[in-house]
Amino acid sequence: MQDQLLDQIPSLDLADFRSGDPERKARFVQQLGEAYQNIGFVALKNHGLNDEQTKQLYADVQAFFQLPDAAKQRYENPELAGQRGYISKGKEHAKGRNTGDLKEFYHVGQEVETEDPIKKEYPANIWPEEVPSFKESTFRAYRTLESAGQDVLRAIALYLHLPENYFDDKVKHGNSILRPIHYFPIEDPDAVPADAVRAAEHGDINLITLLMGASADGLQVKRRDDKWIPITALPDQIVVNVGDMLQRLTNGVLKSTIHRVVNPAREKMNTSRYSIPFFMHPRSEMSLAALEHCVTPDNPKKEADITAGEFLNERLIELGLKKK
């Protein structure tokens, strides 16, 4: 599968990995690893989010974004470099661009519930008063996706011939972020910059991303032959992709594939789109130096050593969320 040009991302079942059946588990590891060496994305079912939870989460997220801009901006704090709370329309742009994306979003971060010195690295979460159940529904999704992500990382570790628990202590109390996004309706398409898009092409910063909402139109991934293919996930699937940190750690063996969210047709620009990615980050001290066995004569070391914290900092500046 590694060298094929796929028209669709592969579908996997996390229940295979969690089943305790060695054959099902090994098959999952192999399929996941191959997909990540190839297209960098999979669709995944049995991730642990149930329908009721998902419905409540979307209801809360929509209720928040429907508030007037002035109400939402009370939850925006520029000093946090977009790491918590609301980030208003057009603030973030993809690396290498200046035009802001046509989106607004909200960041929910890690809560450290036991003694761990990492606590002091994380700003407190910000919760919107107007939607009291937002806190519970977003944070429940945070923990569910964190746990699914941990299993995906265990499968990746096995595929890379590392101990299954290789990532466990690195992501414990990691700097992960849940990001409900609203691609807001645009009444007059001529009033926005001509090159503005919902989300310009980019790679994700983090280790892996677990994305809810890819069942709605618009998300596309760039294949190795530069062709854009639409991501089609079923309503019970989330999309899980490799981010730049994991690509760096594996010296490019696993692919952080470029993706984007395109605008709808002009007559549909006045409609909303919602999605909820969970960006799985390790603790800031994790080294992203290439794993020794991923550096070979055929695949010489590509990037300098860096920690996850330093790498994130560089990116936040490049995305316009943090000042130098």
Report, in Å, the least distance between residue 57 CB and ligand AKG. Answer: 15
Q: Which does 275 bind (CB under 5 to 8 A by kind): ligand AKG, Fe ion, none?
A: ligand AKG
- Complex with Fe ion: residue 112 or 216, whichever CB lies closer: 216
Q: Which does 219 bind (CB under 5 to 8 A by kind): Fe ion, ligand AKG, none?
A: ligand AKG
What is the DSSP pairing of strand 11-13 with strand 41-45?
parallel
Q: Which does 214 bind (CB under 5 to 8 A by kind): ligand AKG, Fe ion, none?
A: ligand AKG
Report, in Å, the least distance between residue 10 CB and Fe ion. Answer: 18
Contact of 269 with 191, CB cutoff 8 Å: no
Q: Which residue number has the CB closest to ligand AKG?
A: 275
Handedness of CA 25, 29, 34, 36 (dihedral sign): positive
Distance CA 18, CA 24 (A): 9
Report, in Å, the least distance between residue 105 CB and ligand AKG. Answer: 8
- Complex with ligand AKG: residue 28 or 264, whichever CB lies closer: 264
Distance CA 150, CA 165 (A): 9
Looking at residue 216, its amino acid is: A
- Complex with Fe ion: residue 92 or 204, whichever CB lies closer: 204
Q: Which two tokens stand for residue 27?
A: 């098959």
Report, in Å, the least distance between residue 213 CB and ligand AKG. Answer: 6
Question: What is the contact surface with ligand AKG in residues (CB under 6 A)?
Answer: 181, 199, 204, 211, 213-214, 219, 259, 261, 275, 277
Strand (E) or helix (H) holding 181: strand 181-183
- Complex with ligand AKG: residue 160 or 177, whichever CB lies closer: 177
- Complex with ligand AKG: residue 29 or 43, whichever CB lies closer: 43
Q: Which does 32 bind (CB under 5 to 8 A by kind): ligand AKG, Fe ion, none?
A: none
Report, in Å, the least distance between residue 281 CB and ligand AKG. Answer: 13
* Residue 167 to residues 72, 287, 311, Cα–Cα distance (Å): 36, 11, 18
Question: What is the contact surface with Fe ion in residues (CB under 5 A)?
Answer: 204
Distance CA 93, CA 324 (A): 16
Contact of 145 with 179, CB cutoff 8 Å: no
DSSP for 264-307, please give it.
--GGGTTS-EEEEEEEE---TT-B-PPPGGG-BTTB---S---B
Q: Which two tokens stand for residue 13?
A: 């079942």
Q: Which does 9 bind (CB under 5 to 8 A by kind): Fe ion, ligand AKG, none?
A: none
Report, in Å, the least distance between residue 231 CB and ligand AKG. Answer: 8
- Complex with ligand AKG: residue 208 or 214, whichever CB lies closer: 214
- Complex with Fe ion: residue 60 or 204, whichever CB lies closer: 204
Report, in Å, the least distance between residue 90 CB and Fe ion. Answer: 17
Our measurement of the distance from residue 6's CA atom to the centroid of its chain's CA atoms, rounded to an integer in Å, reads 22
What 3-state DSSP class applies to 123? coil
